Structure 1
Amino acid sequence: MNQQTMPNVTLFDLLARNWQRQAPVRHLCFNEDDTLLAIGSVDGAVALARLGDNEPPESRIVIDNGQTTIQPRLGKPSPLISTRIHEGARLSAHRDGAFLAATRSGDLLRVDRTGAIVAKVLSDKGPICAFDHCRATGLSAAAVSHRLRLQSGETDTIREIDLGDRKPAIVSIAGDGRLVALACSGSLSVWRIADDPGPLIEMSLPSSPLSLEWSADGRWLGCGLQTGGLVLLNADTGHHIMLGDFPGPVAMLDWSPVANTVLASGAYRIAGWSMDAPPPGARATGRGGFVMVDAVAAHPVKALVAAGYPNGRIAIAPIGSPEELIVRDAGGPVTALQWSTDGRHLAVGDALGNAAIVTFPNEIFK
């Protein structure tokens, strides 16, 4: 008699809604009210996924003789909302639930909830090479060659800052909108947005910058490097810390506002350092192994971090603990991870073109 075995069902199979894109997923971004997810692919296509779920996890939980199980989904997820953007390069949330999308030709476009392009932003004086948007203040900052253009709202006056010989590869605005950081091929600088006296702080970088993120309180700036590890810059004092010995590039980093910890990719486990008493103290998180972490995303309201690996594995770990919750065992190399603002949804993108929203039951992260 032939014996058929049921394949192992993972949390990903039970909790994720999946959409297949035609190219690897590069960027993921939730809008400001957690109703839509923007998905940017390597081929430049941008589409929107609705977060509204006809089969939320709570509706599929069954309790039988004291044992709790969750039933698989029966239907398919709502189709994606297409946009007319075919050369998208980076995404950001914008006001009123809309998105900003930078294109390879240097335009910065506002995309509304329907996927329609409704405006061009800061794009009348040459191609934009890097940008960021501050949700708290509504400020957009865009680097156009050797100048930085600043605008609050779509109709306000645009202010320009001459950057001298600096040409930013990454722009990042602090959460309170007070400071803006510019990462160039050989330097990292911090500028005040309210005035233009030149850089407030500037330091040289030993390698090309790949990632740039502010801590939630705006005190620390983290810059991941192609080689050489991670730079932590104190925006109050100008003091900086080099964290080296990474076996791989630090393509992603994130800050946990709950655990006051910086987390980074590029190591054979989730790399983390507590900022409670700098110099930072290492916080070993998750399990070490032979596969390097490619993606990290700190949970916004709990001391947790999601990590993605090139073998497709996705894990969630308490910061500072070796424990892990395996969400997916294998699949395409993970290229993007992003939590929704409320921490209920984890967006996942991989190199095989799979884009997914994993929605967790309220009970899972007690």
Structure 2
Amino acid sequence: MITTPQLAAGPIPITAFGQSDFLLGGGAGDVLLLRADGSLGEPVLKLESAIVAIDHSVANGVTVATDGNKILLVRQGSQFALAHGAASPVSTVALSPGGDHLAFSAGDRLWVWVSGDETMPLDDFACAGQPVSIRWNGQSLLACALGADGFSLIDCASRRTDAVAGFPAPVRSVSWSGPANALVASGAFRIAAWVMDTPLLAGKLSSGALE
């Protein structure tokens, strides 16, 4: 167990960094390095107010953070502020496994940007609710936990979407299993998994859960 000073009043955004370290989002707008021995490093980047979401790609070293207003991308030592134009506060950010695409949400919409050698908007999607977490599977498929509205799947390549509701409590997290080729979502005392042997978004998600 690692003990750190209190950095914020509520939950602290955290993401893996390097082989054994982490990045933490602080209440003062700092993104701090947390080493494996529990010591804190200097701020990696700083925004104007409390950090609400961060992510880091080990593959290409890109880091992204948001305080709900600005989205700051750090790539090869340079910082870029995304002119995202979202009308609602940004609530989640997620880099693709290769780090060359960024997904983020504001309100009930999700945006996908290119975040590799250049940064530019790629697409945006309407969701059945407000995403509270985003998980990539490969470079084009996204699963979004929607709280009380269940979860949704978005295929960026085909622009197809699907949503699954009916959980007894808000869905706060979703996860992909590569070895099992499955998607897992949780809500209350229920964990449901979908084995993706058939093409995704084929209209069978709502009835294909293994609980």
With normalisation by structure 2, the TM-score equals: 0.85
Alignment map for 1:290-329 (pairs within 5 Å): none
Show the counterpart of 1:220. 141
Q: Write the distance in 2 (CA, Å) between the matches of 1:197 and 1:255.
A: 27
Counterpart among 184, 188, 200 of residue 263 in structure 1: 184
- SS in structure 2 opposite 1:171? strand
Distance 1:138 1:237, change over 3 A: same
Show the counterpart of 2:102. 180
Alignment map for 1:225-240 (pairs within 5 Å): 225-240=146-161
**What amino acid maps onto 1:266 in structure 2?**
G
Q: Write the distance in 2 (CA, Å) between the matches of 1:95 and 1:268.
A: 34
1:214 is displaced (CA, Å) by: 1.1
Q: What's the CA shift string for 1:301-329, capped at 9, x where partnerless? A: xxxxxxxxxxxxxxxxxxxxxxxxxxxxx
Alignment map for 1:1-366 (pairs within 5 Å): 49=1, 81-87=2-8, 89-123=12-46, 125-127=47-49, 128-152=51-75, 156-166=77-87, 167-194=89-116, 195-198=118-121, 200-215=122-137, 217-266=138-187, 269-276=190-197, 277-278=199-200, 279=202, 280-281=204-205, 282-285=208-211
Higher share of residues assigned strand: 2
Contact 2:14 2:54 in 1 (8 A): no
Contact 1:111 1:119 in 2 (8 A): no
- SS in structure 1 opposite 2:45? coil
Q: Write the distance in 1 (CA, Å) between the matches of 2:119 and 2:96.
A: 16
How many residues are matched?
Answer: 201
Distance 1:95 1:152, change over 3 A: farther
Q: What's the CA shift string for 1:323-349, capped at 9, x where partnerless? A: xxxxxxxxxxxxxxxxxxxxxxxxxxx
Q: Write the distance in 1 (CA, Å) between the matches of 2:187 and 2:68.
A: 30
Q: Write the distance in 1 (CA, Å) between the matches of 2:67 and 2:191.
A: 35
Largest Rg, 1 or 2: 1
Higher relative contact order (CA 8 A, sep 6+): 1
1:86 is displaced (CA, Å) by: 4.0
With normalisation by structure 1, the TM-score equals: 0.51
Gaps of at least 5 residues in structure 2 are none
**What amino acid maps onto 2:35 in structure 1?**
D
**What amino acid maps onto 1:113 in structure 2?**
A
1:234 is displaced (CA, Å) by: 0.5
Contact 1:129 1:145 in 2 (8 A): yes
Contact 1:84 1:117 in 2 (8 A): no
**What amino acid maps onto 1:205 in structure 2?**
C
